[in-house]
Structure 1
Amino acid sequence: MHELTLADVVREHRRSRPETVALVDGDRRLTYPELDERTNRLAGALAAAGVGRGDRVLWLGVNSFRILELLVAVGKLGAVLCPANWRQSTDELRFVLDDLRPAVVVWESGPLEEALDPLRAGSDARWICHNGEGPEGYEEWIAGHPAVDPAVEVPDTDPVLLLYTAAFDGRPNGALLSHRALVSHSLVLGALRQPEEGFVFLDSGPLFHVGTMMFAAMTLVYGGTNVLLPTFDAELACTLIERERCQGAMLFPAMITQLVEANADRRFDLSSLRFGPFDEQWNSMITLDDSPWGRSFAGYGQTQVAGMLTFHGLGLGGLGTSGRPSLLAQVRILDADGAEVPDGTVGEIVARGPHVFSGYFRRPELTARTLRDGWHHTGDLGRREKDGTLSFVGPKLRMIKSGGENVYPAEVERALQEHPAVTGAAVIGRPDETWGQHVVAIVTVSEPVAEAELIAHVRGLVASYKKPKAVVVVDEIPRRGFTPDYDLLDDAHGGGGYPGS
């Protein structure tokens, strides 16, 4: 039996949807036949640059239609695309380059150039400027190759997408997602979201985040139109929703608030957007989504399952906060010894199924530990209720959620401890009405140091959203063995609001 890949999806849409627009980015519009032709040229360019099965292509830039055409093109060769978090510091990006060892880097000139210049000098990869001109510019690079399908046989179990995640130990790990994972997850997500013929989705969140990528992939699989928003700008988002008649978007509460403010005078017609309820103003601007997805609170997910593992829409009215498992997944709740716990008891969430990831790139021990006994051990705690629905309780290891982004204390603590005056550090999350939580650093120091200096120091090593909003200097950090006593620190410094709490 033939195994369906993302490349096959586009090949089929070329024939069955010859007039459908696949991608919109500014003034550029690509139909599915044009997308298939361009990805053939792009696959040829990548192959000429030495990209073959298992090789990596790195994207460094804001959202662009080229991310999705790169995803299809690497899929035609059996290679892997990594859209990296462009908001990272030079130090973080250097780690990604050293870890990923890409054959080709497609990068964006402009604001990122200063951070990337020192990295380009020492790299063996072929660097292509996606918004540049000449032989090293993206368009001229692919134009020199024929629009011939490479016709490489690629199993659907081959990884095609790598997303960095889970920096519990202070450094991120690359989760590998296969064609099968993305296609199968898209089918289940679509069953809940119910995209109809002519579906248009606004990629308003970053495509390095699985929350946006999962909807972009679903839209591609269902033959819809992806509209690319480079970075979130409320007025531009309103313009695109009205102009393209977008029916879906990736939006967090803070983004919705900005959209409401941008459209306070009702300059924009947002009625095409089908979305869940928020407040009276928002509800009056849009069409409330009556699909199972729109009437629910999403569910529980993570990058390692291509997006969602459970859907609240499959458990509407149930006791659990996270609904029931994906239609293509099995979920168990296990104790520390690996035995399934009774209903109502908290344990680790484990899962298996076609949209579970393939493992971590260059992390054989971590992969073996995570995917042991044929199950993906999520590192998260949950509980099965008596009606069979599931409740997500929280990470086994602490995580802060700020503006929809995951912040792992170990990563920020490592950055703090690189300052010469810091002798100890612990990081907590404090509730924040706008962002959910913000980061607070608790430090011990060997000499006086200004709060602003420590915040700027962290900002120089990690992405801006991870930096502390406040720094508290203490004489001693309470500990449980070698680990900071985060519960005591929360009580003393106003911590709380963690995922699942």
Structure 2
Amino acid sequence: MPQLDAPQQDLPQLNLATLHEAVAAAIPDRECLVWRDRRMTWREVTDRTRRLANVLVAHGLGRRDGTHEPWESPHDHLALYLHNGPEYLEGLVGAHKARVAPFNVNYRYVDDELAQLFGDARPRAILYHARFAGQVERVMKRLDGTPLLLQVADDSGTPLAPGALDYEDALAAASAEPPAGVRPSADDLQILYTGGTTGLPKGVLWRIGDLMHGPLGLRRRDGSQLTDLDEAVARAVRGAHRVLVAPPMMHGGGTWSALGGWCGGACVIFPHRVDGLDADDLMDVAERERATRMPLVGDAFARPIVEALERRPRDLSALRTLLNSAAGIGPGVKRRLQELLPDAHLVDVLGSSESGFSVTAHGADAPKFALQPGAAVLSEDRTRRLAPGEDELGWLAKGGSTIPLGYLNAPEKTAATFLTVDGDRLVVPGDRARLLADGTVEVHGRDATTINTGGEKVFAEEVETVLRGLPGVADALVLGRPSERWGSEIVAVIGPADAPDDAALRDGCAAHLARYKIPKAFVRTGRTLRLPNGKADYATARELSETTIDRPVPAGE
């Protein structure tokens, strides 16, 4: 069997570039990536990622020597302004083979948001789909410097932008040999920009070695880190997973699912449609490609999948794992999903861009989360770890050797979020939690979505979970609205537009919530309340809540 050139043996082990090269050398002809009619082997993906790395190196991009602070990056940066597809994964791996730090770009941003992001990240190169060429051209006029532009052709028919290189032409003209003199390291960075739901997007600086041993799951069955290259390659050779990735890779969950699959030798599959969720298409691809693992993002994914399977059952007996993150799935939807996919194990994970996965729950009815290695619940003042059963609402934290360095260009925010407690370095992203007597965790949601109403704290996600479990409610977001009487009053924005009346919703909430937590107003809408990645679109919810007319509050509330 023909072999790829072996990776340089003196390179530091267990960085993404070196591991990808080593796995490709071991299984060059195994399927690595599938999208639509494109089927690429590990050999072909390695060829293309090397070529991209050589394009970046030829234009002077790489890593600079010297020391740097936890909020600084020694790399040049590659912006990935793309829908899901082969080029996104090629960009991630190719950047690491050039020692360039890749970062994600939210393709829903308008010009001002994009300019703010690029002003912070300072990309030296931008890899983008042709449909975004206009935005790139406009925003570049507002920034210092001219980055390398690599335009990926798509079905928009947009011509090549002035000064840009056609991506395929650039790869064809580049060498397929490993970039000369470039030695990737586990210390090389990958930058993950937060979604900006709790403020301006922040660039989280992950060492690629920490990312691999944390969110990407490069661990043994006993939870210990897999640190030997030969052992990691042997595991990949044994692996036979086929990971179907529908969440957009512009957010951490999609990227981590895909790269984690590759670290284990899996084939990564994308659904035909990548600019939004088409549940029938997703299930058709899962059946045809015999997918074994699939990430979900809450009800925004689970409900349409249930409806698609109820319309037409598929043979999904190969599907073994459903990994849900970033948003909750209502209990009824969970149970129905498990009924329709009895061979699949449903795992809920909670984490963040800053911590990876902190707690997990298994099965359709699991009400509590278990702490993952390195996770803890800190006291209200964030000075100590809480013991099981302490009746204090604290903060979910993550420590150990697999947390990021800090936030790019933000020393104050880094100091506020990355703390030292009892000599251990911990990240505290902002999730409130209680550590129960049995050692499980009761998660209350982000502090940023906490509503102070009449002196009582209400966690929006708790109320949302109850509302989404009521008959006739497809989705719900809860937020505070200024009120003379309470300071903030609780408002629920719910879908669909013909959801049950206020009295029925209040009665449904009253069975599960204290009276002060029940929304004072309900706004119905036919609009989606979710972003493309399935996360809550609180901006839309707030816009809708502010357009409603204040109503008198019923007596006794």
Normalised by the length of structure 1, the TM-score is 0.74
- Is the CA contact (8 Å cut-off) linking 2:17 and 2:96 kept in structure 1? yes
- Report what 2:368 is aligned to: 321
Q: How does 1:9-408 map to 2 (within 5 A)?
A: 9-53=19-63, 54-110=75-131, 112-123=132-143, 124-131=146-153, 136-150=165-179, 151-168=181-198, 170-185=199-214, 186-187=216-217, 197-229=239-271, 230-231=274-275, 232-251=277-296, 252-266=298-312, 268-275=314-321, 278=333, 282-283=337-338, 285-290=340-345, 294=346, 296=347, 298-306=348-356, 308-313=357-362, 321-326=368-373, 329-336=374-381, 338-343=383-388, 344=390, 345-373=392-420, 374-398=425-449
- Report what 2:518 is aligned to: none
CA distance in 1, matches of 2:190, 2:96: 6
CA distance in 2, matches of 1:165, 1:406: 20
CA distance in 2, matches of 1:475, 1:236: 40
Structure 1: gaps of 5 or more residues:
414-424, 436-450, 477-488, 494-501
Distance 1:50 1:429, change over 3 A: farther
Moved more, 179-188 or 56-65: 179-188
CA deviations over 1:412-458 (Å, ceiling 9, x no partner) = 99xxxxxxxxxxx98976263679xxxxxxxxxxxxxxx9xxx9xxx
- 1:391 counterpart SS class: strand
Distance 1:149 1:465, change over 3 A: farther
Instruction: Compute the displacement of 1:161 (Å).
Output: 3.3
Instruction: Compute the displacement of 1:188 (Å).
Output: 6.2
Aligned equivalent of 1:470, options 537, 540, 544: 544
- Is the CA contact (8 Å cut-off) linking 2:478 and 2:490 kept in structure 1? no
- Is the CA contact (8 Å cut-off) linking 2:361 and 2:368 kept in structure 1? yes
Distance 1:268 1:340, change over 3 A: closer
Moved more, 146-155 or 87-96: 146-155
**1:430 is the counterpart of 2:492:** yes
Structure 2: gaps of 5 or more residues:
1-10, 64-74, 224-234, 323-331, 451-459, 469-474, 498-522
Distance 1:10 1:75, change over 3 A: same
- Is the CA contact (8 Å cut-off) linking 2:186 and 2:209 kept in structure 1? yes
Instruction: Compute the displacement of 1:219 (Å).
Output: 0.5
Instruction: Compute the displacement of 1:261 (Å).
Output: 3.3
- Report what 1:446 is aligned to: none
Instruction: Compute the displacement of 1:323 (Å).
Output: 0.7
Count of aligned pairs between the two proteins: 432
- Is the CA contact (8 Å cut-off) linking 2:12 and 2:184 kept in structure 1? no
For 1:356, give the aligned amino acid: I
- Is the CA contact (8 Å cut-off) linking 1:50 and 1:103 kept in structure 2? no
Instruction: Compute the displacement of 1:42 (Å).
Output: 0.5
For 1:233, give the aligned amino acid: D
Distance 1:388 1:283, change over 3 A: closer
- Report what 2:72 is aligned to: none
Q: How does 1:415-494 map to 2 (within 5 A)?
A: 430=492, 432=494, 466-468=539-541, 470-472=544-546
Q: RMSD value over aligned CA atoms?
A: 4.1
CA distance in 2, matches of 1:23, 1:371: 36
- Is the CA contact (8 Å cut-off) linking 1:201 and 1:227 kept in structure 2? yes
Instruction: Compute the displacement of 1:58 (Å).
Output: 0.7
Distance 1:340 1:215, change over 3 A: same
Instruction: Compute the displacement of 1:407 (Å).
Output: 9.7
- 2:194 counterpart SS class: strand
CA distance in 1, matches of 2:494, 2:220: 32
- Is the CA contact (8 Å cut-off) linking 1:321 and 1:390 kept in structure 2? yes
Instruction: Compute the displacement of 1:301 (Å).
Output: 0.7
For 1:84, give the aligned amino acid: V
Instruction: Compute the displacement of 1:113 (Å).
Output: 4.5
Instruction: Compute the displacement of 1:155 (Å).
Output: 2.8
- Is the CA contact (8 Å cut-off) linking 1:273 and 1:287 kept in structure 2? no
Instruction: Compute the displacement of 1:77 (Å).
Output: 2.4
CA distance in 2, matches of 1:142, 1:60: 18
For 1:381, give the aligned amino acid: R
Distance 1:279 1:354, change over 3 A: closer
CA distance in 1, matches of 2:538, 2:385: 38
CA distance in 1, matches of 2:309, 2:336: 10
CA distance in 2, matches of 1:96, 1:51: 20
For 2:19, give the aligned amino acid: V
Percent identity (aligned): 22
For 2:36, give the aligned amino acid: G
For 1:49, give the aligned amino acid: H
